[in-house]
Amino acid sequence: MSDFQLHPVAATAHAAQVDTLFYCMLALTGTVALALAFLITFFSIKYRKGSNARRDHPPTQNRALELSWMAIPLLLFLGVFGWAAWLYAQAYQPAANAMTVFVVAKQWMWKVQHDNGRREINELHVAVGQPVRLMLASEDVIHSFYVPAFRIKQDVIPGRYTSISFNADRAGTYELYCAVYCGTAHATMEGRVIVMPPADYARWLESGDQADGLSSYGQTLYRQYGCSGCHDAGAGNAPALTGLFGQPVQLADGRRVIADEGWLREAILQPHANRVAGYPPNMPAFAGQLQEEELAALIAYLRRK
């Protein structure tokens, strides 16, 4: 029973804002609950059978009263809704300078790929004050990336990327949980987010296994899988990919999309359903051919290209 704490550590500015919202709602709902408890107790005592309280004309309805206890809660609810939605929308938008880290979940571990090629399992090292955006993918079932100290959670869905952003402002080691039930050892699918001062983080990043950077691994795959044969030939039978990332793309089916991680993933795995307007349906589908880590590397390369 060690380390008992009623209030979890808040290690991001967002977490502190969520706590403020929480305590305001606690005050609001607590007031309502106490007022009701008081009224019920008071009426129960005053109007107990046999008491000599006045009981003439007990009201059976009072439209003004009833409408007011519809309208006042509704207004309060709208206020809470707006506040919570605003905070949610803010957390949804990653900072412009956010560092992207790919995280792959599988039964029952977290695999992390940093941009410079450094990999880790069940640990995620980040720097204090550095906005981070995680691209989350699952190899099997649904998992959920949950760091209570950051007050953030994002389900990890097989077959697509989901993403989550945070900016830790306090060094320390924080629990990472899988929050969606994922099978036998779900409760042990835990990890740690280690938030380090920037200098320590830089040292950490350069130590350990010095694999090639994620994007150079992606470049290797890009040649190996024959992508370069068409996309770099300038022959006009495949769209050029240089500078494509983040740009709008007109698709053959009329959709207009942004070439972000999510769409690039789809375009690699299911090219026919994502054909760029003006190009023939030549590209083979890579669904089932690529590991999640390989996809992450390819996309990291395309980001740079």
Partner 1 sequence: MSSYLTEGPTLRQWLTTTDHKKVAILYAIAITLFFFIGGAAAVIIRLELATPQGDLVPAQTYNELFTAHGVIMVWFFLIPSIPSVLGNFLIPLMIGARDLAFPRLNLASWYIYLIGGVGTLWGMLLGGVDTGWTFYTPFSTMFSNSHVIIVVLSVFFTGFSSILTGLNFIVTIHRLRAPGLTWFKLPLFVWAHYATSIILVLATPVLAMTMVLIVIERLFQVGIFDPALGGDPLLFQHLFWFYSHPAVYIMVLPAMGVVSEIIPTFARRKIFGYRFMAYAIMGIALLGFLVWGHHMFTSGMSMYAGMTFSLLSFFVAVPSAIKVFNWTATLYKGSITFDAPMLYALGFIGLFTIGGLTGLFLAALALDVHLTHTYFVVAHFHYIMVGGAVAAYLGGIHFWWPKVTGRMYPEMWARVAAAMLFFGFNLTFFPQYLLGYEGMPRRYHSYAPEYQLLNVLSSAGASILAIGYLLPLCYLAWSLFYGRHAPSNPWEGRGLEWKTLSPPPVENFSNPVVVHSHVHEVAGEGAA
Question: According to the binding rule CB under 8 A, does residue 16 interact with partner 1?
Answer: no
Rule CB under 8 A: which of 62-91 touch partner 1? 62, 65-66, 69-70, 73-74, 77-78, 80-81, 83-85, 87-89, 91
- To partner 1, the closest distance from the beta carbon of 38 in angstroms equals 10
* Count of chain residues binding partner 1 (CB under 8 A): 86
Helix (H) or strand (E) holding 105: strand 99-106
- To partner 1, the closest distance from the beta carbon of 133 in angstroms equals 14
Question: According to the binding rule CB under 8 A, does residue 181 interact with partner 1?
Answer: yes
Cis peptide before 108 (omega within 30 of 0): yes
How many beta carbons lie within 10 A of that of residue 251, not counting itself?
Answer: 15
Choose between 102 and 222: whose C-beta lies nearer to partner 1: 102
Question: According to the binding rule CB under 8 A, does residue 256 interact with partner 1?
Answer: no
Q: Which residue has the tokens 């206890």?
A: 69
- To partner 1, the closest distance from the beta carbon of 67 in angstroms equals 9
- Indicate the DSSP class of residue 276: B
- To partner 1, the closest distance from the beta carbon of 198 in angstroms equals 26
Choose between 130 and 162: whose C-beta lies nearer to partner 1: 162
Is residue 165 within 8 Å of residue 91, measured between CB atoms?
yes
In the shown chain, the binding pattern of residues 200 to 219 toward partner 1, with x for contact by CB under 8 A and - for none, equals: --------------------
The crossing angle, in degrees rounded to 10, of helices 13-46 and 63-92 is: 160
Question: According to the binding rule CB under 8 A, does residue 37 interact with partner 1?
Answer: yes
- To partner 1, the closest distance from the beta carbon of 213 in angstroms equals 28
Please pick, from the candidates 33, 121, 202, 285, the single residue that binds partner 1 as defined by CB under 8 A. Answer: 33
Q: In Å, what is the CA distance from 303 to each residue of 153, 269, 297?
A: 26, 17, 10
Nearest to 126 by CA among 192, 211, 41, 220: 192
Helix (H) or strand (E) holding 256: strand 256-258
